[in-house]
């Protein structure tokens, strides 16, 4: 695991995850609280409202994304969660926990169906999930509606938007 004792080390670690975002970092008891530095355009627009914060745990290297809380609130909650063993109200964004692959098996004007395979990267690993994933092109709802399928759907939509409306035949992502 990377050393995460200085602001520069924390910033370098975050750059591995998202090299296109700059952060302000603030030391706290368990590591670093990181707030994205918004561009003037982002600050003037709607992106300034609801900006999340990241916690980089300097002992474990885990990066958690918190809601748009104050820095003090994030620090207090994370410290309490670690001390009590309860999960924080945040999602782990790094290290990645799943490798998800999608392979198109059917498409018509209304829906697209992929064969989804989600392989756990955790230690110990969670069971692999391998099943069809159907996305309604109009509503963008997915079936089944479980969390991993929803994350895979979000990735497929992102790729489709990058491809100017063309759904990918195959795609993969680590989440």
User: For residues 3 and 9, is the Cβ–Cβ distance under 8 A?
Assistant: yes
Is 123 found in the same domain as 72? no
What pLDDT, in 10s, does the model give residues 69-124? 999 999 999 999 999 999 999 989 998 889 999 999 999 999 999 999 999 998 88
What pLDDT, in 10s, does the model give residues 17-56? 889 899 999 999 999 999 999 888 777 776 656 688 999 9
What pLDDT, in 10s, does the model give residues 154-170? 999 999 999 999 999 99
Is 146 found in the same domain as 103? yes
What pLDDT, in 10s, does the model give residues 70-81? 999 999 999 999
> For residue 23, is it within any domain?
yes
This prediction has a pTM of 0.72
Q: What is the reported pLDDT for 103?
A: 99
Alpha-carbon torsion 104, 106, 111, 115, what sign? Answer: negative
Would you mind telling me the total number of residues written for the chain in this entry? 175
Q: Which of 62, 77, 94 is the last residue of a domain?
A: 94
Task: Give Cβ neighbours of residue 130 (< 8 Å, ≥ 6 apart).
Answer: 115, 116, 117, 118
């Amino acid at each position: 695991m990377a050393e995460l004792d200085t602001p520069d080390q924390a910033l370098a670690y975050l750059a591995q995850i998202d090299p296109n975002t700059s952060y302000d970092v603030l030391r706290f008891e368990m590591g670093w609280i990181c707030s994205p530095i918004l561009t003037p355009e982002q600050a003037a627009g709607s992106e300034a409202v609801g900006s999340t914060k990241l916690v980089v745990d300097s002992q474990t290297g885990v990066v958690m994304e918190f809601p748009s809380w104050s820095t003090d609130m994030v620090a207090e909650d994370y410290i309490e969660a670690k001390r009590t063993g309860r999960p924080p109200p945040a999602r782990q964004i790094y290290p990645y926990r799943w490798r998800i692959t999608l392979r198109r098996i059917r498409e018509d004007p209304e829906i697209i169906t992929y064969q989804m395979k989600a392989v756990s990267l955790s230690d110990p690993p969670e069971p692999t999930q391998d099943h069809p994933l159907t996305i309604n092109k109009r509503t963008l709802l997915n079936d089944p509606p479980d969390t991993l399928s929803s994350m895979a759907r979000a990735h497929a939509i992102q790729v489709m938007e990058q491809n100017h409306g063309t759904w990918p035949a195959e795609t993969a992502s680590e989440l």
